[in-house]
Structure 1
Amino acid sequence: MSSLQAAEQRRIIADCFARTGLTVEQLWLRYFALGGDVSEVDLEAYLRGAFPLPRIQRDMVAHAVNERLDELSGARRAPYSSDAGDDSRPRGLLAALVGLLDGAQRVSPERLPAIVAAAGRALDLELTVYLADYEQRQLFPLPGESAPGRVALPIETSTAGRAYRNAGTVLTEEPSGPRLWAVLLDGDERMGVLEIEAAADADLNDLTLHTQCQWLASLSGHLIAAAMRYGDGLDMTRRRKGRGPTAELLWRNLPPLTAATGDFVVAGGVEPAYDIRGVTFDYALSETTAWLAIFDAGRDTVSSGLVVSAALAAYRSARREGQDLRGQESAVDKALSAQFGDGTTVRGTLAEVDLDHGTLRHLEAGGEPPLVLGTGRWPATVDSARRPPFGDGGTGHIETARLDTGDLLVLHTEGVAGARSADGARFALPRFLDAATGHAPPEIVRRVLAAAKSHCRSGFTGDAGLLIARWPGTR
């Protein structure tokens, strides 16, 4: 494209941007999500005509503007750099990402596997989506044009499972040619894997292509997770058993099972996955603080799910209003007393971590005290002064401890350590935590809950809730 044409493209993009109602920062975030790699300052300079951009970066800016204009129907669209009369869509990786974004708008969830496959063809790749079941034991192929003949793959022993366990990519040599497996991520939560086979001239040994496949897998995972919020078609692939109303309620109230910032990583899980009755957890991450909570109302009454959900809702409300641990404690107590009367209790632990210094403040209300473990250090129980369960009244003592760089913080319910084998032996939680410390928190959660489930042969006497966080110790 000539410099004159590039200048005209920039002028129209800037004109269209002015109609979007976006700030430069908001436009940059959209552009960056598409793979753009210039700074917000350079983007602003480009819009003013003071800084040139390469063709592919200009097209990314144009597409970011057009995404917003699509939301404002009828607005004039920004042009791509292709000459008039040519295909006006970008090519290569950008074409794959654009095709995925455009195709995923206003479609039923069941259509997403075909849209992902079409995005792959822009890179000369054949793609098949596999989703992990809720017990994280197997990966199941989603129905689609590339799925016939494919079967479920075990997470523990398959190559696809290795990509899932390590949250990365794995390249294998097959009789039919090389095959790449890339983990599907929604943020930092693992959804499944993407099976990638080369077509035409694509070279799966190309490390640049590996990176592009990771971007494609992450975007696919995000779109699949978003589609599950408004449809059941994809979710049904992940379910291997039915869920009762209580389990359905508690799963819908859980936050994402994994989240991370540069300063903190947290992951959680519950068992029995399809029959959870009275356990839940929550967390929130900010620039300076991480808040964690876990609640256990038992599984022996028909109201356990409603009771623990009320505790969770009261905790979230207080936390979002800026209440400290004492205010959160009071809110949960009052909510249980007001809604269920005297005698209704929930065990739990509330905690917060100062991300600058690793200071841990925590309060136990009949719950299990936190565990802390680090490199070369056996899991240690944090000193605690437990108060009665929430709903029983009283005020607990807020304890303080200090995390070291790289430490793991573990919150759990009695159902984890209390899982018993046929001969009555309790599950050795510290030993299994110690054996899994070389992995990321979501993989530690998966391994520990799988080990507890195997130990008690799926016969949990109490719901098992597990929340594991790592403080890297660096800002």
Structure 2
Amino acid sequence: MTTRPAPVGSLLRAAPPDRLPEVAAEHLRTRFPLAGAEVYLSDLTMTSLWPVLDPEGPAAGRLEMRVFGSQEPLVDGGSAGTDRVMLPLTVWGDRLGVLRVDLREPAGPDRVTELRSLADELALALRAAHNDTDRYYRISRRQRLTMAAELQWALLPGRSLDGERFKLAGQLEPAYAMYGDHYDWAVTGDRLTLTVLNGQGDGIEAALLTTVAVNAMRNARRSGANIVEQAELASDAVYSRYGGASHVATLLLEIDLSDGSVEAVDAGSPRALIAHEGDVRAVSLEQQLPLGMFGDGRYETQKFQLQPADRLLVVSDGVHAATPGGRPPYGASALLSALRGTRLQPPAEAVGTVMRALRDYHAGVEQDDDAVIVCLDWLR
């Protein structure tokens, strides 16, 4: 009697967290006529993919990057009936990398479907194992992080997130030396909470300040508090630690995914814009005091409405207020042009497009502030 191979999910769950790519590759060898395989993971800037099985090998090529961007499998036919299959490694919309499988036979639709299922299992295992081994961190980092950046990356919820009614993505720069800018999100049922922060100051002190604020808001949110209570608890925590000498500019949003209604607490410099069919408008909110400026800070919500297919962009002051070389603020017109150029891109690609446009706007002048961009598509 022929013994069927164990499901790849079972094999990955039983494997040490640092050996997942090897276990997946070995399963491929036992299951298919295999010529080779490679697992590629994205770098922190989401602009290149790097090999895990052969860490001394070159970065991924054009086709793998296309799969990473499109999030669709791609079959590249070779000679003598061989096929190279490339598949996205993605969990809940969070793009991790690409799996490349070189087969010694043609890859028909059923084979691609089977390989995509394997890639999904591998992506889920990689996401679960990320904090139990440094192997994958080392692949994604192409240079050493500052201590401030280390704190910020450890605090992030993820890079992108998809649901039935929304697509969401965020990006920070400079990736290896950021300071106090940050974003956070959480979805429960029909409620999506989104926060963009700008901690005052530079270096590790700014990162520590933001860490206090983010964890205070998470503590309140996970206890069932609304965004007003989240802002007030965070403000109290920051003031208790810094006595008003430092503060955190913050925009808190709670989005009802069932009808697009948004409640906002505007406590500082992050700005929100809405794009719809090429038209871009700023969300007008009355600004309240940043978190931690005074003891017993109190906040009020304001409301605005999203329409189906609206794109909501939230940016820190390192984006909208950037004035490199004395140029007009990036948010005055260049940001609107960049946002219009993302109409056909999903949020995970759009944040990169806007960030590249920001770098181009600096035209060789070094960025003097870190920057956050978060993009939400409400699909209804």
TM-score normalized by the length of structure 1: 0.74
Which residue matches 2:368? 461
Q: 1:302 to 1:128 in 2, by over 3 A?
A: closer
2:285 equivalent among 353, 369, 384: 384
Matches within 5 A, 1:319-334: 319-334=221-236
Shift of 1:355: 1.5
Which residue matches 2:319? 416
2:76 equivalent among 161, 164, 172: 172
Partner SS state of residue 240, structure 1: coil
Q: 1:191 to 1:335 in 2, by over 3 A?
A: same
Partner SS state of residue 137, structure 1: coil
Partner SS state of residue 129, structure 1: strand
Q: Do the aligned partners of 2:262 and 2:306 also contact (CA within 8 Å) in 1?
A: yes
2:23 equivalent among 115, 120, 123: 115
- Higher mean alpha-carbon deviation, 223-232 vs 267-276, is at 223-232
Q: Could you say which structure has the higher strand fraction?
A: 2
1:159 equivalent among 26, 41, 63: 63
Larger radius of gyration: 1
Partner deviation per Cα, 1:385-433 (whole Å, 9 max, x = no partner)? 0012111244444221111111111111011223444563543222111
Q: Do the aligned partners of 1:378 and 1:430 also contact (CA within 8 Å) in 2?
A: no
Matches within 5 A, 1:173-322: 173-175=77-79, 177-199=82-104, 202-204=105-107, 206-300=108-202, 302-322=204-224
Distance 2:139 2:187 in 1: 30
Shift of 1:335: 0.6
Partner deviation per Cα, 1:234-286 (whole Å, 9 max, x = no partner)? 22111111012221111111101112221222211111101111111111112
Which residue matches 1:39? none
Partner deviation per Cα, 1:1-23 (whole Å, 9 max, x = no partner)? xxxxxxxxxxxxxxxxxxxxxxx
Shift of 1:378: 1.8
Q: 1:212 to 1:361 in 2, by over 3 A?
A: same
Note if 1:444 corresponds to 2:350: yes
Q: 1:103 to 1:402 in 2, by over 3 A?
A: closer
RMSD: 2.1
Distance 2:217 2:238 in 1: 11
1:143 equivalent among 29, 53, 56: 53
Could you list the runs of 5+ residues in structure 2 that have no partner in the other structure?
A: none
Partner SS state of residue 279, structure 2: coil
Matches within 5 A, 1:97-116: 98-99=7-8, 101-109=10-18, 111-116=19-24
Partner SS state of residue 164, structure 1: helix
Partner SS state of residue 303, structure 1: helix
- Higher mean alpha-carbon deviation, 176-185 vs 318-327, is at 176-185
Q: Do the aligned partners of 2:12 and 2:122 also contact (CA within 8 Å) in 1?
A: no
- How many residues matched? 371
Percent identity reads 24
Distance 2:178 2:156 in 1: 12
Higher relative contact order (CA 8 A, sep 6+): 2
Shift of 1:227: 2.4
Partner SS state of residue 349, structure 1: strand
In the alignment, residue 290 of structure 1 is paired with which amino acid? L
Q: 1:458 to 1:310 in 2, by over 3 A?
A: farther
Shift of 1:99: 3.6
Distance 2:134 2:246 in 1: 34
